[in-house]
Amino acid sequence: MIDALYQPFAEFSFMRRALVGCIAISLTAPPIGVFLTLRRMSLMGDAMGHAILPGAAIGFLVAGLSLPAMSLGGFIAGLAVAVAAGVVARSHVIREDASLAGFYLISLAFGVFLVSVHGSNVDLLHVLFGSVLALNDEAIYLVCGIATVSLLTLALIYRPLVLECFDPYFLRSVSQWSSPTHLIFLILVVLNLVAGFQALGTLMAVGVMLLPAVAARFWSNSVGGMIAVAVGSALLSSLIGLLASYHYSVPTGPTVILACGVFYLFSMLAGRRGGALWGLVPRRHLEA
């Protein structure tokens, strides 16, 4: 039984690489997701995941299956969509989510168009669903590098970022940090999606970013606590997903995300802060 837990990693280097990649992503993506949910921008991660597609596709068309080219392309496309959406939203005619929807749909359609015209659909599926079991050294360095940079940056802008999510007007009135914080945060979102799509694919990268984050709200009443729960559950889900996909020969990326999904459903039912099952337990109340 214990064997089944470590034997795959001891035996196969591709499993070890997959584990390292997943740990790196699990450390950095969930905190970003926590801030996305707190900003009420949960769906933005999803939109951005789609938005990086044409960039990755252009990188793929220019340089073939080259990791730096596809990552750089994805990063540029994602950032362009995020910034464009933000700028349009500042005009106050439409809200940021509407403006983002407009841009990411253009971006996604353009990406699918490019890949369909120039490549085969197999390649597209590869980009969309990732290849966690085929991480080479290059990809590992990229993913771990992005994770390191993200965590350090997040630590640096933690306070203004919490304030920007909680009371953006107040932050604007006391300091100049509002706009830089927002921009840096957008860059982090895109960077993490680029890291995630190497390992899990664009769609799955959003899953590991957001599912642990929304689940965490059921367990903690503080931002720090939410981040801890989100990272912990992402790490556990990664491990469970990798092992399950190995032992039952099922696709890895979706299995990891499904493990995150199971934790979310469990949190909804049993979470200490508002879990559904606690409502069934008759509870005493205090006098005052």
- Per rule CB under 8 A, is residue 239 in the interface with another protein? no
Q: Does 71 bind another protein (CB under 8 A)?
A: no
**Residues, the chain, total?**
288
Residues 198-217, one symbol each (x = binds another protein by CB under 8 A, - = not), give -------------------x
The stretch near another protein (CB under 8 A) out of 48-56, 96-104, 127-135, 220-228 is 220-228
Q: Could you tell me the smallest distance in angstroms from the CB atom of residue 53 to another protein?
A: 31
The candidate with the shortest Cα–Cα distance to 111, out of 48, 44, 63, 66, is: 48
- SS3 string, 153-213, reads HHHHCHHHHHHHHHCHHHHHHHCCCHHHHHHHHHHHHHHHHHHHHHHCCHHHHHHHHHHHH
Distances (CA, A) of 116 to 120, 144, 148: 6, 31, 35
Instruction: Say if CB 230 and CB 30 are below 8 A apart.
Output: yes
Contact segment (CB under 8 A) with another protein among 56-64, 104-112, 171-179, 185-193 equals 171-179
156 is an interface residue for another protein by CB under 8 A: yes
CA 74 to CA 83: how far, in whole Å? Answer: 14
Task: By CB under 8 A, tell whether 151 contacts another protein.
Answer: no
In whole angstroms, the minimum distance from the beta carbon of 219 to another protein comes to 11
Residue closer to another protein, measured from CB, 90 or 118: 90
Q: Which of 116, 170, 270, 276 binds another protein (CB under 8 A)?
A: 170
User: Residue 207 contacts by C-beta under 8 Å, 6 or more apart in sequence?
Assistant: 200, 256, 257, 260, 261
| For helices 202-216 and 42-51, angle between their N-to-C axes, nearest 10 degrees | 170
State yes or no: residue 91 binds another protein (CB under 8 A): no
Select the residue interacting with another protein from 175, 179, 247, 265 (CB under 8 A). Answer: 175
| Interacting residue with another protein among 99, 220, 237, 267 (CB under 8 A) | 220
**C-alpha closest to that of 25 among 130, 100, 157, 169:** 130
> Which residues are near another protein by CB under 8 A?
38, 40, 156-157, 159-160, 162-163, 165-170, 173-175, 177, 217, 220-223, 225-226
